[in-house]
Each structure stands twice: as structure tokens, then as C-alpha cells.
């Protein structure tokens, strides 16, 4: 009797195991298939949804010390965060060429930098055919203000530092230290001003006058360019306040260096009015490299 029960039970157990394996082999591919279909469906829905919220305002950061190129020298010199004019200008150009972009928003936090960097960014802003609004965070001073003077509208916080329109040149003189240790610097140059600014010797009066004339020339050019780009004040008005002072938002507004106090909300309102758009239709994007990645605020 036990032998008969075993002969019947064993085949049933084997068939049950095979049924289980078969079910697993069929179920796993099915799960993969329907999971793939679900992903495609969700992707399709996302595309349809994104068509209604396509980013249309390019946010371009101008943050850190301004340099003309992306050489990496600034980091080596301990200048901290660097914003190169090459990179900023390229993003401005890309945004201006992008048919989906209707305006440009500059996110500014910079103490300034080289005159060339400020002038190149300003020129690129003046060339764009789209509205440009600049939002000054902590600082928008010196060459950074030069750069954003090409914007149509400037927004700053009541505690933002704005202006500091001026040019400075300095160097470390170590001539006395060299003499103290018994060393003497010998220089052979083929020109009266070829080694001007050599820290190993004291400047002559003529050299000081020469360098000061360069600073004054750059300052005059800076005033001329800013007053040409930002027509809210006259060249005479700008010259009167272009003594290197930085102003907090309230004073900057009174001096016409900025157009309104606030932040991104005020910048968005300006774009809504300028472009006749609703608030939900203004979608900011992060300008990265050669393209624009969606970044909703």
C-alpha cells in the first residue's frame, strides 16, 4: 500500500515544481514588458505636459570675479569663484538664438573683475534682441555693474551693494625687503617703461604718473560706456557718483543705478508686463554650456 502511494505522489510533486518554474519564466518577461510600456506611457504624458510649461526665460549666472577667458588662472591666484566673459557671452548668444527663449534673466553676485570682461558682457547684452533683466544678489559692483548696465532693467535688494564705479591698480613692492637680506635686483630693459611695476624696485615719479594715466583712462572709458548703455542718467550724473563708492539698494535706486528694489519676484513681474504674459507662463531655465536645462523656480 505504501509503494502505491509513493508511485502516485512523486509524479504529482514533479509536475507541481515544473508548473511553478514555468509560471516564473512566463511572469518575469511579462513584468518587464508591461513595465517598459508603463515607462513609455509616462514619458509620453511628461512630454505632453512639458509642452505647456517649456522654459522660456534663460537664467544666466554672473557670479564671482569676472575674467575675460576661462584660463583657470584666477583659481590658481586664489581669486575664488570665477565667471569668464567667454562663457557668459556664449550663454547670452545661445539664449538670443533660441526660438523658445523670450527673455534673459541675469543672476548677479560679483565684486567685479577686469575691464575687458565687463565691457564684453555689456556689449553682448546690448546686441541681444530680447528683454534682459538683471537681479543683483549680494553684490553687483565695479566691472560687474559695468556688465549689467547693458540690461534693460536692474533689480536689487535693499541690502545689495551696487556701483563702485572706478578702476584700481596696485602691486606689492618688496625692494626694501630685498635690500634688508642683502640682495640686489638687476634689470636690463629696452624701454623706459618696459619694467614699470617691477616689485623689486621703487617706482619713479614718471612711472607713477604713467600708471595713474592708464587708470584714469580706463575710468573715463568705463563711465562713457556705462552712461551710453544705461540711459537712465546722464554722463555728468554718472561721473559725479563714479568715485568708487558702492551703494546699498535704497541709495542705488535714488541714484538711478537700479530700477526697483526686490528680487526674482520683481524681475518676473517686469517680464510679465513687458511680454504681456501671465505669471505661470514665465518659466526660468538654467543656461548650461551650449543648451538650456529646465529649472523651475
Q: Is the dihedral of CA 227, 230, 231, 232 positive or negative?
A: negative
Write out pLDDT tens, residues 82-134: 889 999 999 999 999 999 999 999 999 999 999 999 999 999 999 999 999 99
Cα(178)–Cα(189) distance, rounded to whole angstroms?
20
Sorting pLDDT into bands at 50, 70 and 90, what band is 191?
confident
Percent of the chain with pLDDT over 70: 67
Model-level pTM? 0.73
Q: Which CATH superfamily is domain 57-294 in?
A: 2-enoyl-CoA Hydratase; Chain A, domain 1 (3.90.226.10)
Spell out the alpha helix ranges (H) of the chain.
2-52, 73-76, 85-97, 115-127, 143-148, 175-180, 205-229, 235-241, 249-254, 264-275
Which region, left, alpha or beta, applies to residue 244 given φ > 0 means left and ψ of -120 to 50 means alpha? left
SS3 of residue 60 by DSSP: strand
Percent of the chain with pLDDT over 90: 52
Write out pLDDT tens, residues 161-177: 999 999 887 766 666 66
Would you kindly state where each structural domain of the chain is located, as residue ranges? 1-52, 57-294
Q: What is the pLDDT of residue 296?
A: 32
Cell of 58: 534663460
Phi/psi of residue 232, nearest 5 degrees: -70, -20
Give CA 10 to chain center in angstroms.
75
Out of 157-161, 174-178, 194-198, 284-288, pick the least confident.
Answer: 174-178
For residue 108, the cross-strand partners are 62, 136
Amino acid at each position: 500500500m505504501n509503494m502505491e502511494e509513493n508511485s502516485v505522489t512523486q509524479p504529482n510533486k514533479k509536475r507541481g515544481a515544473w508548473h511553478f518554474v514555468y509560471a516564473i519564466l512566463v511572469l518575469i518577461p511579462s513584468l518587464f514588458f508591461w513595465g517598459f510600456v508603463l515607462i513609455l506611457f509616462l514619458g509620453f504624458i511628461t512630454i505632453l505636459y512639458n509642452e505647456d510649461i517649456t522654459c522660456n526665460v534663460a537664467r544666466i549666472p554672473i557670479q564671482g570675479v569676472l575674467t575675460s577667458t576661462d584660463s583657470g588662472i584666477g583659481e590658481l591666484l586664489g581669486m575664488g569663484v570665477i565667471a569668464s566673459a567667454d562663457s557668459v557671452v556664449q550663454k547670452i548668444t545661445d539664449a538670443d538664438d533660441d526660438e523658445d527663449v523670450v527673455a534673459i534673466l541675469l543672476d548677479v553676485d560679483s565684486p567685479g573683475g577686469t575691464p575687458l570682461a565687463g565691457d564684453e558682457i555689456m556689449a553682448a547684452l546690448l546686441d541681444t534682441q530680447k528683454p534682459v533683466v538683471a537681479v543683483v544678489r549680494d553684490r553687483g559692483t565695479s566691472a560687474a555693474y559695468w556688465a549689467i548696465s547693458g540690461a534693460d532693467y536692474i533689480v536689487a535688494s535693499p541690502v545689495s551693494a551696487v556701483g563702485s564705479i572706478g578702476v584700481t591698480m596696485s602691486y606689492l613692492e618688496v625692494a626694501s625687503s630685498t635690500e634688508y637680506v642683502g640682495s640686489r635686483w638687476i634689470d636690463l630693459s629696452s624701454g623706459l617703461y618696459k619694467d614699470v611695476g617691477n616689485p623689486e624696485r621703487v617706482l619713479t615719479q614718471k612711472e607713477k604718473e604713467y600708471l595713474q594715466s592708464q587708470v584714469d583712462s580706463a575710468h573715463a572709458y568705463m563711465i562713457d560706456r556705462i552712461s551710453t548703455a544705461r540711459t537712465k542718467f546722464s554722463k555728468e550724473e554718472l561721473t559725479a557718483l563714479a568715485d568708487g563708492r558702492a551703494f546699498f539698494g535704497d541709495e542705488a535706486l535714488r541714484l538711478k543705478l537700479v530700477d526697483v528694489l526686490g528680487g526674482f519676484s520683481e524681475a518676473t513681474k517686469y517680464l510679465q508686463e513687458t511680454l504681456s504674459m501671465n505669471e505661470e507662463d514665465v518659466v526660468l531655465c538654467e543656461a548650461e554650456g551650449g543648451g538650456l536645462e529646465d529649472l523651475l523656480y
